Structure 1
Amino acid sequence: MLAATAISQSATDPLSGLVLRDVPVPEPKPGWSRVRVVAAALNMHDLWTLRGVGHPPERLPVVLGCDAAGYDDDGNEVIVHPVIGDPDAGRGDETLDPDRALLSERHDGSFAEYLVVPTRNLVPKPAWLSFDEAASLPVAWTTAYRMLFTQARITAGDRVLVQGAGGGVASAAIKLAVAAGAVVYTTSRSADKRAEALTWGARAAVPTGERLPERVDVVIETVGEATWSHSLKSLRPGGTVVVAGATSGTNPPADLGRIFYLQQRVLGSTGCTRAELVAMLRLLEATGVRPVIDRTLPLTDIHKGFQLMIDGSLTGKLVIHPPAHRPETGPSSEERA
């Protein structure tokens, strides 16, 4: 089967380590299931792996891809929950399991014709979701859901700032917060992305760093160093910043004086539980909210997809389509890129 595999890492030329090649179809071990992938989606996590951030080189080669929707071996339409962990080890929350792993960290991921995951990680795909929509949800949308509803516990009428409109998590956070009745503000350096955010229901979209019309109750922060100071200054006394990423850097000025004097709360958030994915599906069904998909590409064009992500040219998710099922003729050593 065809798979997009990380074989090396480079901070300056990440795509040099990404190859398309034929690999054996995986066989599920007891308690695991095989999925024929219909759609997968790109995430920044994939790019960090290629850059050598948070992924030890001794775990290479590995098939990339954290998001997937497709069919199990019984023909059921499924969404793959991407956090592979033990809920019991995390007091009922697999994201707190110290030994947890996101798909493609220790186990081959979804940029392939097939993948295998623990059977527990399969969630029935609702008929009202397309495969492309379903594949856009597991990482970005559930990350946003956990940030908003589990960590920040937003309610209708809350003021929410989402930094960096256009990214996968940010676009999800805007749409989910609007659906929950929040007043949403967002920022971006791109005028086009600010305009797009307004169509999703944001009350205002301002250039990065610009003052908001009012202080907010919650900030959804995935940008990091470039927006951190603005996040704290935009937050009301007693408000909450939820952090689930730092694409611009992980070492912002702490500004501890502001945090303790204004009693602001800073909460970390990572991934989601299977139960949160199921709960989010109920929310999408009830509200009609759907993920933002920038475009789709065949697996053979995955290098182009990564370059679009590197260039910051995407608004929402980029969905990858593996080849349609074909008879297996055995693995080949030929690398196609």
Structure 2
Amino acid sequence: MRAAVLTRFGTPLTVRETPDPEALGGEVVVQVLAACVPPYAVDVFSGRRNYPLRPPVIPGVGGIGRVVGVGPDATRLRAGDLVWCDCTVRSRDDALTPDITLQGWSSRGDGGARLARHLHDGSFAEFMRVPTENVYPLPAEAAKDPARWSALGVYVIPYGGLLAGELHAGETLLVSGATGNLGSAAVAAALAMGAGRVVAPGRNRAVLGLLADRFGPRVRPVELTGDETTDRTAMSAAAGGPIDMVLDLLPPAAPSSVARAAAMTVREYGRVVLMGGVGMLGGADLALPYPWIMRNSVTVRGQWMYPRSGNVGMIRLIAAGVLDLGPERVRSFPLDAANEAVEYAAAHGGPFDRTVLTPPAA
């Protein structure tokens, strides 16, 4: 098969012939039809993000495909089934604290690194090998536009944060980092789940206007000034009432003061979920006042990625039409143009912009 291979950090991907993957027990081989290229892929491949990838590696974070072959333990999947392949692989020998690797992308700790050595390669290829439990059947309508449906891999990440924070219909949510690629997806997912209002702070006035135009009065945009006290007051005022939950999806370059200003708008007994990259590039860590957390009974939790059930929930939201992929701006590239796709994704990483590799001829 042909695949886009990262031979070493700081060099372009090499599209070349590689051995076809073979499924072992508990695994499925899938023909890849569409795989999203994250806007920050250029930072991963250059080494700037210092991800624990071990070149040579076929990168890629999940995708849409058709089942080619299944193992004997698969009772419902069949060859030819259209499926979503989730990149979030969990070890099977610890139900409480499983090790995790993002197949073809990243991992967590020594155990995650061991998983990554076994499930080394991702979706930037004609075929990929995936654990059986990471394959999810898609509705028939997804076959009409697999590239557009591959955006569910973007939406399911903030959806995991919304599930972790137990967002309820009618509640008011603040999305810190709402003008980014994942933050804007969080706004859409929250509204699809029935959020009453979503406060959307950011510095980009044009993107704030885009969110307001697309989603109407349930979205309350707030243009940030950079002054922590001023911004916290403005966000609280925009909510028009108590803020039940804050979801932070700020990128690594964002200062911790922005995350703190957003988090401290949450009401007494409210919830704060941290999913962003604050502090990953150095700088001040997030410092929330102990007395404020304790006396206001605020719940603060981290969430990396999403539970397995999040994949099913996201597929259902899209299939039902309550999360509409129609407005997505999708640009597809064939596998041989993988480097052009990476460059394009870096330059088009705004809300609802999707760059997709389509390994069969585009």
The TM-score with structure 2 as length reference comes to: 0.77
Q: What is the aligned counterpart of 1:240 among 271, 277, 281? A: 271
**1:293 is the counterpart of 2:320:** no
Q: How do 1:51-200 and structure 2 match up within 5 A?
A: 51=47, 53=49, 55-56=51-52, 59-73=54-68, 74-86=79-91, 89-91=94-96, 96-98=97-99, 100-104=100-104, 105=106, 106=116, 107-129=120-142, 130-138=145-153, 140-149=154-163, 151-182=164-195, 183-198=197-212, 199-200=214-215
Distance in structure 2 (CA, Å) of the matches to 1:52 and 1:6: 14
* Total equivalences in the alignment: 313
Offset at residue 307 of structure 1 (A)? 3.2
Answer whether contact 1:141 1:168 (CA < 8 A) is retained: no
Q: Which runs of 5+ in 1 are unaligned?
A: 11-15, 327-337
| Structure 2 gap ranges (5+) | 69-78, 107-115, 226-230
SS in 2 for 1:60: coil
Shift of 1:158: 1.0
Report the AA paired with residue 5 of structure 1.
V
Measure the CA separation in 2 of the matches of 1:324 and 1:181.
37
- 1:231 and 1:137 mapped to 2: Cα distance? 26
Provide closer, same or farther for how the CA distance between residues 301 and 69 of structure 1 changes in structure 2, counting only shifts above 3 A. Answer: same
Q: Deviations over 1:116-150 (max 9, x none)?
A: 11122111111233312331113x3222122112x
Deviation at 1:71, TM superposition (A): 0.7
Q: Which of 311, 318, 323 is matched with 1:284 structurally?
A: 318
Find the residue that maps to 2:264 and give its secondary structure. helix
Give a deviation string over 1:58-112, Cα, whole Å, max 9, x none: x211111112001111211111022112356233xxxx412x2111042201111
1:317 deviates by 4.6
Match of 1:335 in 2: none
The match for 1:205 among 208, 221, 228 is 221
CA displacement at 1:217 relative to structure 2: 1.4
Find the aligned partners of 1:168 and 1:113 in 2 and give their Cα distance: 26
Q: Measure how far apart 1:320 and its partner are.
A: 1.9
1:239 CA displacement: 1.9
Moved more, 32-41 or 221-230: 221-230
Contact persistence 1:293–1:317 (CA under 8 A): yes
Q: Is the 8 A contact 1:152 1:218 kept in 2?
A: yes
The residue number in structure 1 matching 2:309 is: 275
Aligned-partner residue type, residue 201 of structure 2? T
**Structure 2 Cα separation of the partners of residues 114 and 222 of structure 1:** 31
Query: 2:287 — aligned with what?
Result: 254
Q: 2: distance between equivalents of 1:219 and 1:308?
A: 31
